[in-house]
Amino acid sequence: MITLNVNGKTYQVNADSNTKMLWVLRDILHLTGTKYGCGIEICGACTILLDGEPVKSCDMDVTEGVGRHITTIEGLAPAHSSKLQQAWIAEQVPQCGYCQSGMLMKAAALLSRNPHPTDADIDSEMDNICVCGTYQRIRAAIHRAANS
Amino acid sequence: MKNAADTGTPSGRQSPAYSQSIEITTASELNRRQLMGLTAGLLLAFTIKDSGRAALAAGGPGVVAVNAFVGIGTDESITIYIGGGEMGQGIYSGLGQGVAEELMVDWTKVSVKPVDASHSWLTGGSSGISRHLIAMRQAGAVARDMLVQAAANTWGISTSLCKPVNGSVVNQVSGATLSYGKLAAAAAVLPVPAYGASGPTLTPDSQLRIIGKAVARPDIPSKTDGSAIYGIDVVLPNMVFAAVKHCPTLGGTVSGTITKPSGAIAVVNLGNAVAAVGTNTQQAFQLVNSVKVNWSIPASSKLIDSSLYATQQKSLLANGNPFTVQELGNVAAAFTAPKKVVDATYSLPYLPHACMEVLNCTVNLTSTTCDIYAPTQAPNLVLAQAISLTGLTAANIRIYPTMMGGGLGRKFELDYVTQAIKVAQAVKRPVKLTWSREQDMGNDRYRPSALIRIQCALDSTGNLIGWKNRIVSPSILFQRGAPGTSSDSQATEGSTDLPYGFGSRLIEYVRDPAAAPVGFWRSVGFGLNTFAVESAIDEAALAAGVDPLVYRQRLLAGNTRWLNVLNAAAALGNWSTKPPAGRARGIAICQAFGTIVAQVAEISATSPTNIRVYKVACAVDCGNAVNPNSVEAQMQGGILHGLSAAMFGQVKFAAGVPSVRNFSNSRVLRMREAPVITVSIINSGFPITGTGEPGVPPIAPAVANAYAKLTGTRLRSLPFYPNATMSDD
Ligand code: FES
Ligand code: FES
Output the DSSP codes for B383-424.
HHHHHHHH---GGGEEEEEPB-S--TTGGG--HHHHHHHHHH
Considering only CB atoms, which chain B residues are within 8 Å of A95?
87-89, 633, 637
Distance CA B58, CA B123 (A): 11
**Residue B14's pLDDT band (boundaries 50, 70, 90)?**
very low
Q: Count of CB contacts below 8 A, A vs B?
A: 185
Give the single-character DSSP code of A24. I
Separation of alpha carbons B335 and B688, rounded Å: 39
Q: Are residues A18 and A65 in the same domain?
A: yes
- The response to whether residue B406 sits with its C-beta less than 6 Å from ligand 2 reads yes
Number of helices followed by number of strands (H, E) in chain B: 18, 29
Mean pLDDT of B163-192: 93
Q: Do domains B4-222 and B306-351+446-711 have the same CATH topology?
A: yes
Gap from CA of A41 to ligand 1 centroid (Å) = 4
Opening angle at CA B422, ends B421 and B426, nearest 5 = 115
Candidate of A21, A26, A40 to mutate for ligand 1, largest count of ligand atoms within 8 Å of Cβ: A40
Whether residue B236 contacts residue B361, with contact meaning beta carbons closer than 8 Å, is answered with no
pLDDT tens, residue by residue, B305-317: 999 999 999 999 9
The pair phi, psi for residue B673, each rounded to 5°, is -100, -5
Smallest Cβ–Cβ distance between B280 and the set A23, A32, A38 belongs to: A23
3-state secondary structure of B202: coil
Q: Which residue has the higher pLDDT, B46 or B54?
A: B46
Report the residue of chain B nearest A31, measured CA to CA. B226
pLDDT confidence band for B30 (50 / 70 / 90): low
pLDDT at B462: 95
Residues A61-105 pLDDT 10s: 999 999 999 999 999 988 888 999 999 999 999 999 999 999 999
pLDDT at residue B500, rounded to an integer: 97
- Cβ count within 10 A of residue A125: 20
Distance from CA of B356 to the nearest CA of A (A): 6
Question: How many angstroms separate the alpha carbon of residue B405 from the centre of ligand 2?
Answer: 7
Alpha carbon B274 to its chain centroid, in Å, reads 30
Q: What would the mean pLDDT of B468-490 be, rounded to a whole number? A: 92
Q: How much is the pLDDT for B623?
A: 92
CA distance A46 to chain B (A): 12
Domain boundary among A61, A76, A91: A76
Give SS3 for B598. Answer: strand
- pLDDT of B337 over the 90 cut: no
Is residue A17 located within the same domain as residue A37?
yes
End of a domain among A51, A76, A101?
A76
Min distance A16 CA to chain B CA atoms (Å)? 10
* pLDDT over 80 at A137, yes or no: yes
* Per-residue confidence band for A107, with pLDDT thresholds at 50, 70 and 90: very high
Question: Domain check: are A63 and A88 in the same one?
Answer: no
Q: Where is the domain boundary, A76, A103, A125? A: A76
Residue pair A98/A35 in contact (Cβ under 8 Å)? The answer is yes
Asked whether residue A113 falls in the same domain as residue A68, the answer is no
Residue B322: asked if its preceding bond is cis (omega within 30°), the reply is no
In the prediction, which pLDDT does B728 show? 57
CATH code for the domain in which residue A139 is found: 1.10.150.120
Task: Give the distance, in angstroms, between the CA of residue B162 and the centroid of all CA atoms in the same chain.
Answer: 42
Q: What is the pLDDT of residue B39?
A: 67
**DSSP assigned state of B159:** G
Q: Are strands B676-681 and B612-621 parallel, antiparallel or unpaired?
A: parallel
Q: Say if residue A72 is in the same domain as residue A82.
A: no
A contact residues 97-116, partner B, Cβ 8 Å cutoff: 97-101, 104
CB contact (8 A) between residue B88 and residue A132: yes
Give CA–CA dist B88/B257, Å, rounded.
43
DSSP string for B653-676: EETTEES--SGGGS----GGGPPE
Q: Are A104 and A33 in contact (CB under 8 A)?
A: no
Please name the residues in contact with B88: beta carbons below 8 A apart, sequence gap of 6 or more.
A94, A95, A96, A97, A132, B219, B404, B406, B637
Residue B276 has pLDDT above 90, yes or no: yes
Q: Is the CB of A96 under 6 A from ligand 2?
A: yes
**Is the pLDDT confidence value at B37 over 90?**
no
**Contact with chain B for residue A60, Cβ under 8 A:** no
Residue-wise pLDDT for B81-93, tens only, equals: 876 555 555 666 7
Compute the distance from residue B181 Cα to the ligand 1 centre, in Å.
Answer: 47
pLDDT (0 to 100) of residue B667: 95
Architecture of the domain defined by B231-298+359-434: 2-Layer Sandwich (3.30)
Sheet holding B78-82, edge to edge: B2-5, B20-26, B41-51, B63-73, B78-82, B110-114
Cα B544 from Cα B531, distance rounded (Å) = 20
Domain boundaries, chain B: 4-222, 231-298+359-434, 306-351+446-711
**Who's near B511: CB < 8 A, 6+ residues apart?**
B323, B473, B474, B475, B478, B484, B488, B491
State the Cα–Cα distance between residues B77 and B36, nearest whole angstrom: 10
Measured from the Cβ of residue B593, the count of other Cβ atoms closer than 10 Å reads 25
d(CA B496, CA B326): 7
Q: Are residues A136 and A110 in the same domain?
A: yes
d(CA B228, CA B567): 41
Residue B356 and residue A31: Cβ atoms within 8 Å?
Answer: no
Contacts of A57 in chain B (CB under 8 A): none
Indicate whether A10 and A65 sit together in one domain. Answer: yes
Q: Measuring CA to CA, how many Å separate B142 from each of B44, B45, B68?
A: 8, 11, 14
Which atom of ligand 2 lies at the shortest distance from residue A93's CA?
A: 1
Q: For residue A94, give the nearest of B584, B228, B191, B196 by alpha carbon.
A: B228
Residues 175-234 of B with CB under 8 A from A: 216-217, 219-230, 232-233
B49: pLDDT confidence band, cut at 50, 70 and 90? low
Inspect the interface and report whether the beta carbons of A32 and B226 lie closer than 8 Å.
Answer: yes
Helix (H) or strand (E) holding B698: none
Among the atoms of ligand 1, which is closest to the Cα of residue B663? 4
Pocket test for ligand 2, best of A47, A100, A139 (most atoms within 8 A of CB): A100
Find out whether the beta carbon of A132 lies less than 6 Å from any atom of ligand 2: yes
Q: Tell how far the Cα of B493 is from the centroid of ligand 2, in angstroms.
A: 28
How close A96 gets to chain B, by Cα (Å)? Answer: 4
| B452 SS3 class | strand
The residues in A 116-135 lying below 8 A from B, measured between CB atoms, are 122-124, 126-135
Confidence band, pLDDT 50/70/90 cuts, at residue B674 = very high
Range B306-351+446-711: architecture per CATH: 2-Layer Sandwich (3.30)
Same domain, A20 and A63: yes
> What is the span of the domain harbouring residue A127?
78-147
Q: Which pLDDT value is given to residue B65?
A: 41
A41 within ligand 1 shell (Cβ under 6 A): yes
Is residue B528 within 8 Å of residue B646, measured between CB atoms?
A: no
CA of B356 to the centre of ligand 1 (A): 11
* B728 alpha carbon – ligand 1 mean position (Å): 18
Say if residues B681 and B631 touch (Cβ distance below 8 Å).
yes
For residues B172 and B43, give the distance between their C-alpha atoms in angstroms, rounded to a whole number: 27
Q: Are both A110 and A46 inside the same structural domain?
A: no
Within 8 A of A96 by CB-CB distance, chain B residues are: 87-88, 355-357, 403-407
Same domain, A87 and A71: no
Give the residue among B718, B449, B699 at the shortest CA–CA distance from B608: B718
- A97 and B670 in contact by Cβ < 8 A? no
CATH of the domain at A44: 3.10.20.30
Instruction: Please report, for residues A133, B105, B467, B521, B657, the alpha-carbon distance to residue B444 in angstroms, rounded to integers and kept in the order given.
Output: 21, 44, 35, 11, 12
Residues B717 and B707: beta-carbon distance below 8 Å: no
How far apart CA B106 and CA B209 sit, in angstroms, is 9
Contact assessment for residue B450 and residue B514, using Cβ atoms and an 8 Å cutoff: no
Tell me the average pLDDT across B561-577.
Answer: 98
Confidence of residue B45 (pLDDT cuts 50, 70, 90): confident
Mean pLDDT of chain B: 88
Cβ-based neighbours of B333, under 8 Å, separated by 6 or more: B466, B504
Mark yes or no for CB contact A130/B403 under 8 Å. Answer: no
Beta strand pairing status for B240-246 and B431-434? parallel
Whether the per-residue pLDDT at B644 is higher than 70: the answer is yes
Distance separating alpha carbons of residues B438 and A32, to the nearest angstrom? 21
Facing A19 at nearest CB: one of B220, B280, B403: B280
pLDDT the model gives residue B56: 42
Report the C-alpha gap between B669 and B640 in whole angstroms: 7
Domains contained in chain A, number: 2
Nearest-by-Cβ selection for A138 from B644, B664, B671: B671
- B663 shares contact with chain A (CB less than 8 Å): yes
Q: Would you place residue B13 in the very low, low, confident or very high pLDDT band (cuts 50, 70, 90)?
A: very low
The answer to whether B690 touches B130, Cβ cutoff 8 Å, is yes
Would you call B676 and A136 a contact, using CB atoms and an 8 Å cutoff? Answer: yes
Q: How many CB atoms lie within 10 A of CB B302?
A: 16
Whether A94 lines ligand 1, by a CB cut-off of 6 Å, is no
Q: How far is B217 from chain A (nearest CA, A)?
A: 7
Cβ of B437 within 8 Å of Cβ of A32? The answer is no
Q: For B353-368, what is the mean pLDDT? A: 96
Burial category of B659 from C-beta neighbours within 10 Å (exposed 0-12, middle 13-18, buried 19 and up): middle
Look at residues B317, B318, B314, B339 and name the one whose alpha carbon lies nearest to residue B466: B339
Position B165 pLDDT exceeds 60: yes
| Ligand nearest to the backbone CA of B641 | 2
A-chain CB neighbours of B283 within 8 Å are 16, 19, 23
Q: What percent of chain B has pLDDT over 90?
A: 70
Res. A128 pLDDT band, cuts 50 70 90: very high
Average pLDDT over residues A111-120: 97
Check B436 against A39: CB less than 8 A apart.
yes
Domain B4-222 = CATH 3.90.1150.10: no
Same domain, A94 and A131: yes
A33-64 per-position pLDDT tens digit: 999 999 999 999 999 999 999 999 999 999 99
Residue of B nearest to A61 (CA): B282
Mean pLDDT of B540-561: 97
Looking at residue A136, its amino acid is Q
Ligand nearest to the CA of A56: 1
Contacts of A100 in chain B (CB under 8 A): 223-224
Q: Which residue of A has its CA nearest to B673?
A: A123
On whether both A106 and A118 belong to a single domain, the answer is yes
Mutate to test the pocket of ligand 1, among A56, A98, A128 (most ligand atoms within 8 A of CB): A56
**Residues in contact with B558: Cβ distance below 8 Å, sequence separation at least 6, in sequence order:** none
Q: What is the pLDDT of residue B116?
A: 59
Q: Specify whether the CB–CB gap between B393 and B387 falls below 8 A.
A: yes
Distance B357 CA to ligand 2 centre (A): 9
* Interface with chain B: mutation pick from A34, A81, A131, highest number of B CBs within 10 Å: A131
CA-based angle B663:A142:B600, to the nearest 5? 65
Write the pLDDT tens digit of every residue in B133-163: 887 888 889 899 999 999 999 999 999 999 9
Please name the helix (run of DSSP H) or strand (run of DSSP E) that holds residue A75, with its range, or none: none
Nearest to B225 among A74, A133, A137 (CB): A74
Distance between CA B176 and CA B173 in Å, rounded? 8
In whole angstroms, give the CA distance from residue B538 to residue B714.
Answer: 10
H or E segment to which residue B20 belongs: strand B20-26
Strand B370-374 and strand B397-401: the pairing is parallel
Q: Do B233 and A32 touch (CB under 8 A)?
A: yes
DSSP string, B88-137: SS-HHHHHHHHHHHHHTS-GGGEEEEEPPGGG-----TT-HHHHHHHHHH
The residue whose CA is least distant from atom 4 of ligand 2 is: A130
Q: What pTM was computed for the model? A: 0.90
